[in-house]
Amino acid sequence: MAYLDRQQRDSLASSLTSAASKVSVKRSQTSAPSPLPSFGSGGPPASPSPSVASTTSVTAATTPVKKKNGPGGPNYNGLPVGAAIYSQPENTGVGTAIGTNIVYALDYLKQQGGKPASLTVVLGHLNMHRESEAVQKQISERMRHHPRILWRPDTTTSPDSNVDDNWKTGTYEHKPVIPNVKDRTALLQYLQRRTDAQGVNVKDLKDGWPDCESALAALEHEHKVLVVRTKKDNHPRMVWQNDPSLCFAVEPEFQSLWHRAVVPSVEDIVGKLTAAGQKPTSEDPRLRAMNQPKEKKAKKRAQRRTGKSTNTHMEHLLKDYSALKR
């Protein structure tokens, strides 16, 4: 029993020693406790471990405070607020925006009906009067070199004016595909001046004369123009000149006699012409060639060609030695 009691005491002492060493190591890793004031010989003894309040204060002092990392924080996406991002170039849509605004400027000049407009008026319509001078200058250069925009320089500019501001001067007008054709009289004169037999595209005519369909319908009714229309919407597509003196009125009685006459069918006419030994005009020799049955040609069997012998190193093995048998 004395041995067992001594063994128990030794194990208890060793466990207490190991626990004390762990507590001392953990306490040294956090922070050393602040020294307590001495109370003399009769004062209270020093506390062996820090209190709960002191532990909380130490933890709060050593724990780092997390900063806000968002659009309002000082470090958003790893960069400070206001820093430039160089992953992509700036003003990536400038060229496309300028090209689009040139189209809008052309439509605006079309609506003016040939009236000149200054660069300030055009920029005000495009809402680009607050853009930088470089962008406005680029728009001015694009408009001056546009094939459908006519730029007229300002003749009243004095020679003492600043040369760098010349891009702001002058007026701009719409240049239609068919110039100076905006009424029926001008259209007839333009058709009479043409030396070819090609028609005039109504789309090109509408570029300078948008509401020309009513005038074309009136001229067509007067037999002064020939109009080809679309089958789907019956819109005018091409226009030619016509001579009204060649149009004659046919009496209604003759029209009724013509429609009542028995006209043979196309097949009967072709048969009668063929029987008379004449070639009908409606017969196309190309259609006859296409309708003839095609002769089927027999396919020739390709002869098998022997290739070049490549196993010359095995000729001594392939050689026939049967004649050497006894």
Yes or no: is domain 95-155+165-174 CATH 3.40.50.150?
Answer: no
- With CA atoms as reference, report the closest residue to 149 among 96, 198, 107, 212: 107
State how beta strands 236-241 and 200-201 pair.
antiparallel
- With CA atoms as reference, report the closest residue to 154 among 133, 134, 177, 172: 172
pLDDT average, residue stretch 290-298: 78
| Amino acid 202: pLDDT | 94
Convert the pLDDT of each residue in 262-292 to its tens digit. 777 778 888 888 889 887 776 666 666 777 7
| Rg of the chain over all Cα atoms, to the nearest angstrom | 52
Distance of alpha carbon 44 from the chain centroid: 86
Q: Where are the domains positioned within the chain?
A: 95-155+165-174, 184-246
Instruction: Dihedral sign for Cα 274, 276, 282, 285, please.
Output: positive
Convert the pLDDT of each residue in 191-221 to its tens digit. 999 988 889 999 999 999 999 999 999 999 9
Task: State residue 83 phi and psi, 5-degree precision.
Answer: -75, 145
Distance from C-alpha of 326 to C-alpha of 192, rounded to nearest angstrom: 112
| Amino acid 159: pLDDT | 57
What totals of helices (H) and strands (E) does the chain contain, helices first?
A: 12, 8
Other C-beta atoms lying within 10 Å of the C-beta of residue 172? 24
Distance from C-alpha of 117 to C-alpha of 124, rounded to nearest angstrom: 11
| Amino acid 16: pLDDT | 73
- With CA atoms as reference, report the closest residue to 220 among 239, 193, 200: 239
- 193-194-199 Cα angle (round to 5): 135
Distance from C-alpha of 102 to C-alpha of 96, rounded to nearest angstrom: 10
pLDDT average, residue stretch 177-184: 91
| Amino acid 80: pLDDT | 58
Strand partners, 236: 229
Compute CA distances 321 → 119, 215, 254, 286, 311, whole Å: 104, 105, 108, 70, 19
Percentage of the chain surpassing pLDDT 70?
Answer: 68
Convert the pLDDT of each residue in 234-270 to its tens digit. 999 999 999 999 888 889 998 888 888 777 777 888 8
Do 175 and 155 meet the contact criterion of CB atoms below 8 Å apart? no
Q: Do 184-246 and 95-155+165-174 have the same topology in CATH? A: yes
| Amino acid 109: pLDDT | 92
pTM of the model: 0.47
Q: Which helix (H) or strand (E) holds 109?
A: helix 94-111
Convert the pLDDT of each residue in 92-112 to its tens digit. 444 458 889 999 999 999 988
State how beta strands 117-118 and 79-80 pair.
unpaired
**Under CATH, what is the fold of the domain 184-246?**
Arc Repressor Mutant, subunit A (1.10.10)
Other C-beta atoms lying within 10 Å of the C-beta of residue 209? 21
Other C-beta atoms lying within 10 Å of the C-beta of residue 38? 8
